[in-house]
Structure 1
């Protein structure tokens, strides 16, 4: 890709990805990481400078978007404002020269499938945001595509409706068994709907796996921080023996399984999830001091100063911890199995 002011720009580099039939795979990452560019290349809206794109074994790298057998759900819905809901959904079928009877039957079926039976004669501006999103989805699946593509489809909806719609999209995708590639920057959304997630960073896939694998076994500090919340600690390896590694973190000692830990004296990065840390009042020397606490009903979130840095801690038993307030001296307990060695970056 060329920019007249900055020269060549590499938006996506060496992405090698295979999506299984019937799978919902999410491209997850921050703005500018290449996820939407990757989706647009799959769709045919942008041509790659190298490599190939295959759909069901067919090379479509240079095939126009309207001949790739894909359905696309846009971020802004892209509905035709002058057409009725029926007209919007029927548009792709009319372009394929289906008969009027077949179009009518297919549109009625898909509107019922997305919960919009009886809405055919309304205009888009007469519908809520969630209903417009259902129309966009109906229009994408009515053509019976081989691949369904989503580009940040829920970003314009409020928080409660996003949760509801992501569940509907997932249920519908599983029911129809359409191979799907879904783009989002929302980690919770990605974890809720995906069979697998490809976390993208700077135009590359940083890690690919299930939500559970990415959360429990992140390959890097970047992935750990993007999938859920994470505390990143720099430590010095003090000892590795008998399957246990002893780490020094600013004078505090932590232990973890020795698998993959380098020799004593090495500097390493480790990740600890907030919910893995236990707090208790301490009558001894200040192991840690609570800086802030936020009560959220079913949990309390703490910021705790430990070993010269702030740890985020989540406690899911508020009744037992609500007397631990800012300024409280606490002890910090981190199970060895909760500490993960990660690559930096």
Structure 2
């Protein structure tokens, strides 16, 4: 088994990155980021393109120096330390394999640079390939492997040097959907087995939720919320986080009354009850979020009603768009075999538990 290094914590203190563009001048890619990655945890930087997540990862790796702030790995200030002296493994989006080397040669490269003996090379590379499910592939060339197998080679090459920190830059984006699901499970299993402190970058929220101990959601160069996947989904701190972690209906409403820890809101004449959560006084406008799967759609009766606009059958679920108080609700119903037939134009009643309506 590959020898485990003691997991190292990562700390970013006020880290910023400014790029110079010939036409636009100075562009701030990362803005005063503070971040603590616990030893042995897998933390994901999640956000849309251009939010600063890859730039942050590259600064942790040492590929790019920050324009401000400090980076520490295992308590050591590495802000200006070269990448090859930071004790990290890096898995690139495009695999970055040497096409002229065998799989054994690709995985062994980092050990050769470190002047390891032939016996050490043989043992460590063989174990790394076994760990990623590529035992017996050592003599093949990269072009003889599938995309998923090449990504496993890149992973083996990163872990064979026994790094204290493992970094991933959108490693699954070049794979098809089914293979992505399989590979993310393998990465998570390997990370837990080796207990390597890991920072993982992706724009895929489902991928982030599936593999992470914690997720740092980034927007415009800042971390806007950092928490577990469940906490981010259930208690998003902003409309941006609510919309990026899963799907959410964002509704404009007016506070009608507040009493005994509960609040009545009005949405275009439709009434909903929710927990007050320190809500403003009656008459004030508010925004609330409701997850599509938390809404029950039933035949028209008492209570809030809407009109079905579209119905989309997707096998394991049916998705509806429903006009509700002059706004549009997305609703998901699972187990469609048990689904009532609600068609466009039907008036339906909606059941929304008060605990599933949250103030933004």
Q: Is the 8 A contact 1:28 1:190 kept in 2?
A: yes
Which residue does the alignment assign to 2:345? 327
Which residue does the alignment assign to 1:299? 317
Q: Is the 8 A contact 1:75 1:154 kept in 2?
A: yes
User: In structure 2, which of residues 218, 231, 253 is the aligned counterpart of residue 213 of structure 1?
Assistant: 231
Give deviations 1:193-244, integer Å, cap 9, x for gaps. 0000000000001100000000000000000000000000011111111111
Which residue does the alignment assign to 2:117? 99
Give the TM-score normalised by structure 1.
0.97
Whole-Å separation in 1 of the counterparts to 2:82 and 2:268: 58
Which residue does the alignment assign to 1:194? 212
User: In structure 2, which of residues 80, 86, 91 is the aligned counterpart of residue 62 of structure 1?
Assistant: 80
Whole-Å separation in 2 of the counterparts to 1:34 and 1:224: 19
* Structure 2 residue 336 is matched with structure 1 residue 318: yes
Q: Is the 8 A contact 2:218 2:225 kept in 1?
A: yes
- More deviation in 329-338 or 31-40? 329-338
Q: CA deviation at 1:328?
A: 1.4
Q: CA deviation at 1:339?
A: 0.5
Q: State the SS of the aligned residue for 1:63.
A: coil
Q: State the SS of the aligned residue for 1:53.
A: strand
Give the TM-score normalised by structure 2.
0.93
Whole-Å separation in 1 of the counterparts to 2:301 and 2:219: 44
* Structure 2 residue 172 is matched with structure 1 residue 166: no
Equivalences for residues 29-108 of structure 1 within 5 A: 29-108=47-126
Which residue does the alignment assign to 1:250? 268
Which residue does the alignment assign to 1:4? 22
Q: State the SS of the aligned residue for 2:289.
A: strand
Q: CA deviation at 1:49?
A: 0.5
Q: State the SS of the aligned residue for 1:137.
A: helix
Whole-Å separation in 2 of the counterparts to 1:339 and 1:188: 22
Q: Is the 8 A contact 2:254 2:266 kept in 1?
A: yes
Q: CA deviation at 1:283?
A: 5.9
Q: State the SS of the aligned residue for 1:17.
A: strand
**Structure 1 stretches of at least 4 aligned residues deviating more than 4 Å after TM superposition:** 283-286
- More deviation in 145-154 or 333-342? 333-342
Q: CA deviation at 1:298?
A: 2.0
Higher strand share: 2
Q: Is the 8 A contact 1:286 1:329 kept in 2?
A: no
Whole-Å separation in 1 of the counterparts to 2:220 and 2:304: 41
User: In structure 1, which of residues 246, 255, 265 is the aligned counterpart of residue 283 of structure 2?
Assistant: 265
Q: How many aligned residue pairs are there?
A: 342
Whole-Å separation in 1 of the counterparts to 2:223 and 2:280: 25
Gaps of 5+ in 1: none
Q: CA deviation at 1:322?
A: 4.2
Whole-Å separation in 2 of the counterparts to 1:137 and 1:320: 44
Give deviations 1:44-73, integer Å, cap 9, x for gaps. 011001100000001000001111100000
Q: CA deviation at 1:183?
A: 0.2
